[in-house]
Amino acid sequence: MDRPTQTYLGKGKLEELKGLLYAKRASTVICDDELTPTQQRNLEKELGGAKVIDRTALILDVFAQRARTKDGRLQVELAQHEYLLPRLAGQWTHLERLGGGIGTRGPGETQIETDRRLVRQRIQKLKRDLEDVRRHRARYRARRIEMEVPVVSLVGYTNAGKSSLLNRLTNADVMAENLLFSTLDPITRRIKTPAGRDVLLTDTVGFIQKLPTAVVAAFRATLEEVQESTLVLHVLDIAHPNAAQMAAVVEGILKDLGIADKPRLVALNKADLLDENVDAETLSRALQLADGELGGVFTSAETGTGLDTLLREIDDALSAEDEDRELTAVLDGTYGPRRI
């Protein structure tokens, strides 16, 4: 294994980073990428014991602060333990010198094995508990299907304003702050569209670039809400300078989840920020997104702009879904009165 692979950074960048640590009197380094356990340990050794945190650990720390429900805490704890397990090696290296002779095991090695066993047991317990959560949510979704009430899932890059939009449309009191991942658990509220249709709106966990695989796996129960929805409402912060990249990230994750072909609308949210103070480049980029393949409806959860139009678009999309389902049923010979 070459040196950059072992330490993530090459020798020159390592020396540069050491200089920055000294100049800033910093004791922690945050890496905007996933590090292998070996890379993390070697980096900390090369940097004189400075704490090294990778992207996954940082995201999990934020998730842990945001988790408020039992289900949310279970999902975060599972992701944390699965992240921790391969990193236990080396936690007790200071005891290796206490090891015995041939055929014996030192206290340090014993402690590592004990910790691994306890972590594995906890992971299995968390997985069983989360399977109960999945079954409970599956029963709830089955009841919704029996009631023939369509479900619209709000998805989007974190901090795009999904919770604010849900609150505005439903007069709910879901936590909506200028924070990353303010919502971890699916939150569902009922609304009535202009056509008089009952619809369930579900807010979900926000997406982010390079979403760690451990997070995706742990939040499977939450992401299944999106997979089972009738319509996906992609909420995009249209005023953000990186709106196009954020949209691409969300579309990519939807594809990874196997729901890229699910009926979809786009809410170009925070349109109130596209005022005379916004720079011309951001405004031009926003208009290109709106007029291009992404399309969408300009909305503002803050002012209410565009929400009536959005609700009409939801009505139209669900009506089109009705027609598609009825056509499929006719072709299959299973047609019967059914309204979503």
Q: Which residues belong to the annotated binding site for GTP?
A: 156-163, 181-185, 203-206, 269-272
Q: How many CB atoms lie within 10 A of CB 186?
A: 23
Tokens 């080396």, located at residue: 90
- What is the rounded CA–CA span in Å between residue 234 and residue 265? 6
Q: Which residues belong to the annotated binding site?
A: 156-163, 181-185, 203-206, 269-272
Q: Which residues belong to the annotated binding site for Mg(2+)?
A: 163, 183
Strand blocks (E) in the chain: 28-31, 51-54, 151-155, 187-192, 198-203, 231-237, 264-269, 297-298
Among 207, 205, 175, 203, smallest CA distance to 189 is for 203
The sign of the CA dihedral 214, 216, 222, 228 is: negative
- What is the rounded CA–CA span in Å between residue 207 and residue 159? 9
Q: Angle at the Cα of 248 (from 244 to 249), degrees rounded to 5? A: 120
Strand-strand pairing, 51-54 and 28-31? parallel
